[in-house]
Amino acid sequence: MELRQLFENIFLFEDYVNVYVIKDGTKAILIDFGSGKILDHLSEVGVEKIDYIFHTHYHRDQCFEDNIALERGIKIAAPRRERKLFTEAEEFWKKKSYYDIYSLKPTYFVSTYNIPLDRTFKDKESFEWGPYKFKIIETRGHTARSVSYLLEHETGVLAFTGDLIHSGGKIVNYYDLEYSYTDDGGDMGMGFLLNSFEELLKYNPTVLLPSHGEIIEEPINDIEILKEKFKRVRKAFRHDKIIHSDMSNAMDIVEQLEKNEDKSIFPHIIRKGFGTTFILLGNNQNCILIDFPGDGKFFSYNYEQISAILKEKGVKSIDFVIPTHYHDDHIGGIPLLQQEYNIPVYALENLVDVMENPTHYRIGCLIDTPIKVDRVLKDGETFTWDDYKFQIFHFPGQTEYHMGLFTEIDEKSVFFVGDSMQPYLLNVPETNNNCINFCQLGDNVGSVKCADILLKCKPDYLASSHMGFFKVNEQMLQNYKDHVSKYKSLIEDLVAQDDPNMGFDPNWISFKPIRIISKPGNTFETNIVIRNYLDKESTVEIELNLPEKWESDYKQGSFNLEPKTFTEFPITIKIPETEDPNGRTIITANIKWNGNDIGPFPDLMIDHGFVPSDSWTAWTPNKGVDLLQWIINYYMRDLQFFV
């Protein structure tokens, strides 16, 4: 790595982020810092002193080695409304929950230690340094309150834009566009980016200098290319919803759905409103439950409500409960059914580990109470209950950890699709993608796999968890497949990654378990999971960033990965006996992917005595508030990071 001159007194150092040097004599300002290795090269251009590091946003790859700068007395500046994610990073890790994840900003790509700031910049602020004048503008999109630094230079206005845009009319990844679980997969982030582009272009920048990618010499051209790509993605990714997510009238939505539901279609099924539970009545005073959130209000039902319904129907037993997928609004009440009423749980094989070991994962809408599965069902397996015959499928639309259930009820074939499909305007099926859920793109995976299964089964009706039943035909299902088959190419065209899944899956490199509960002096085991989405063999280099006195049987190494394989590398780590007995530590690993340094990407949480607050844990039916209110509280809690 070496410094490359871009303009008079402006240099670029290619680290795992682009680090820019703005020079005035023997002094300089750096835009972002990365690994800090730039400090070893400054003498090449006659720089003896760094006055400031200006951070464009809080992401860990921008500031991971800021501790080196702090040791040398270098001043650090950052966006004012992201300051807490620098100065209170350790508090972030204690407050940002891993469970019931609905608020997607801030992401978990945060520093593992507090970074004191000497200055913060607000929107439209000016800053003068030597002969230079900066204008700082808020350019949110990639993060919630990132900024761009506009420098008046003899060649024109140079805009240091962070990860606002990647060269070639692309973005670094798609998952950072997602702000809210309910905002339709990146629509809010795209809206913020479009507004930021409009604001940025008011200053007529000559070039854009991004954190990743090449220098953008034709800003208007690249931005226009990206805007056209956004249009195509927005059209494809479900941004015209049948019901808009205005939480202020949530119960009106429930009432509307209840009024519209035709209960005569399936007399042997009981459900209501926006609720996820289907009660399937047997012929022997028995029933089964498909999903059970345990919430008696928005998501219906709680156990008392179901008991009253079953008593009225003369039903004496719930023979088992089977979840379509792992989300809180589908399984939150199942531990109660197990513990208090000894009701068996059936589940598709790929849901078992998520349900039994939830602390191993950090994915959307997860609960933290383990659920023991009594009967494991394999993909494609058929089984009978009462007078019904079921076939179960791996049905990975909304999440990889999802099942579909095909059967005949009341002389009509029906496929329970969970949340993988919803009825769209004009009764055409649609999808529901959220990156944090782990959704794959491509043939034979994700929504395309779901479409193929439905075309094979040819059901009369689909049963959507939140929306009830809707009639389908083969042409509608083929249209659905044609639609979702476009997803991979749309994202491939948009993200600057070797494979679109790498820009769609925030956990394509991650620790598993991602959270360890232990104590000082103990040794624990975890794995680093690498999902090689490429059609070719790939090489990954992994280097653990261990805190002082922590020990491991692994420090660093290089591995070859077969094409289209998900590989786990086991790691054993020992916690020092002198570690805080009430503490929580975050460990990261530096990653090189096919020779490309992507920095400290995955992170591992170790609780060695730390006891999280009640609000950090997942919702349960005994929390004292309904699930919807718990979710709203989560959103409100996360807003504090941007005050």
Instruction: Please provide the DSSP assignment of 455-521 as one string.
Output: HHH--SEEEETTTEEEE--HHHHHHHHHHHTTHHHHHHHHB-SSSGGGGT-TTSEEEESSEEE--TT
Residue 8's Cα: distance from chain center in Å?
A: 41
Give domain status of residue 637, yes or no. no
What was the pLDDT predicted at 518? 97
Per-residue pLDDT at 234 exceeds 70? yes
Query: pTM of this prediction?
Result: 0.93
Across the chain, mean pLDDT equals 93
pLDDT band at 398 (very low <50, low <70, confident <90, very high): very high
Residues 288 and 378 in one domain: yes
Give domain status of residue 450, yes or no. yes
What was the pLDDT predicted at 260? 66
- Determine what percent of the chain is predicted with pLDDT higher than 70: 94
Give domain status of residue 619, yes or no. no
| Tens-place pLDDT, residues 604-640 | 999 999 999 998 999 998 888 888 898 888 888 888 8
What was the pLDDT predicted at 422? 75
**Averaged over 140-145, what is the pLDDT?**
97
> 570: which 2 tokens?
């086991």
- Look-up: residue for tokens 């007399």? 267
What residues form DSSP beta bridges with 455? none
CA distances (Å), origin 263, targets 132, 268, 312, 428, 468: 71, 9, 17, 21, 10
Give domain status of residue 629, yes or no. no
What was the pLDDT predicted at 460? 96
Tell me the one-letter amino acid at 612. P
Residues 546 and 582 in one domain: yes
pLDDT band at 426 (very low <50, low <70, confident <90, very high): very low
Give the separation between CA 568 and CA 526, rounded to whole angstroms.
9
Give domain status of residue 437, yes or no. yes
Residues 71 and 180 in one domain: yes
Per-residue pLDDT at 428 exceeds 50? no
| Tens-place pLDDT, residues 277-319 | 999 999 999 999 999 999 888 888 899 999 999 999 999 999 9
Give the separation between CA 465 and CA 441, rounded to whole angstroms.
23
Residues 535 and 429 in one domain: no
What string of H, E and C letters represents the secondary structure of 502-545? HHCCCCCEEEECCEEECCCCCEEEEEEEEEECCCCCEEEEEEEE
pLDDT greater at residue 352 or residue 300: 352
Residues 300 and 333 in one domain: yes
What angle, rounded to 10 degrees, do the helices at 487-494 and 219-236 form?
160
Structural domains in the chain (count): 3
> 147: which 2 tokens?
């900024």
What was the pLDDT predicted at 242? 34
| Tens-place pLDDT, residues 560-610 | 999 999 999 999 999 999 999 999 999 999 999 999 999 999 999 999 999
Give domain status of residue 210, yes or no. yes
Question: Which of 612, 510, 528, 588 is CA-nearest to residue 67?
Answer: 588
Per-residue burial over 158-177, b if 16 or more Cβ lie within 10 Å, else e, is bbbbbbbbbeebbbbbbbbb
| Tens-place pLDDT, residues 3-54 | 999 999 999 999 999 999 999 999 999 999 999 999 999 999 999 999 999 9
CA distances (Å), origin 410, targets 266, 281, 388, 413: 6, 11, 10, 8
Give the separation between CA 440 and CA 449, rounded to whole angstroms.
10
Q: Are 292 and 337 in contact (CB under 8 A)?
A: yes
Residues 475 and 590 in one domain: no
Residues 268 and 229 in one domain: no
| Tens-place pLDDT, residues 440-486 | 999 999 999 999 999 999 999 999 998 899 899 999 899 889 989 99
**Averaged over 550-562, what is the pLDDT?**
92
421-428, Cβ contacts within 8 angstroms, sequence gap of 24 or more: 421/397, 421/450, 421/462, 421/464, 421/480, 422/242, 422/464, 422/466, 422/467, 423/242, 423/462, 423/464, 423/467, 423/470, 424/238, 424/242, 425/240, 425/242, 427/470, 427/471, 427/476, 428/476, 428/479, 428/480
What is the DSSP code string of 261-318?
--TTS-TTEE--TT---EEEE-SSSEEEEE-----SSSS---HHHHHHHHHHHT--EE
Residues 412 and 518 in one domain: no
Residues 79 and 197 in one domain: yes
Question: Which CATH number does the domain housing residue 545 bear?
Answer: 2.60.40.10
pLDDT band at 424 (very low <50, low <70, confident <90, very high): low
Give domain status of residue 60, yes or no. yes
What was the pLDDT predicted at 113? 98
Residues 394 and 291 in one domain: yes
Residue 282 backbone phi and psi in degrees, to 5:
-90, -170
Give the separation between CA 405 and CA 414, rounded to whole angstroms.
8
**Averaged over 68-80, what is the pLDDT?**
98
The 3-state DSSP class for residue 138 equals strand
Give the domain range for residue 163: 3-236
Residues 472 and 561 in one domain: no
* Domain C-terminal end among 185, 203, 236: 236
Question: Which CATH number does the domain housing residue 413 bear?
Answer: 3.60.15.10
Cis peptide before 563 (omega within 30 of 0): no
Residues 229 and 252 in one domain: no
Give domain status of residue 500, yes or no. no
What is the DSSP code string of 340-399?
HH---BEEEHHHHHHHH-GGG---TT--SS----SEEE-TT-EEEETTEEEEEEE--SS-
**Averaged over 70-88, what is the pLDDT?**
98
pLDDT band at 263 (very low <50, low <70, confident <90, very high): confident
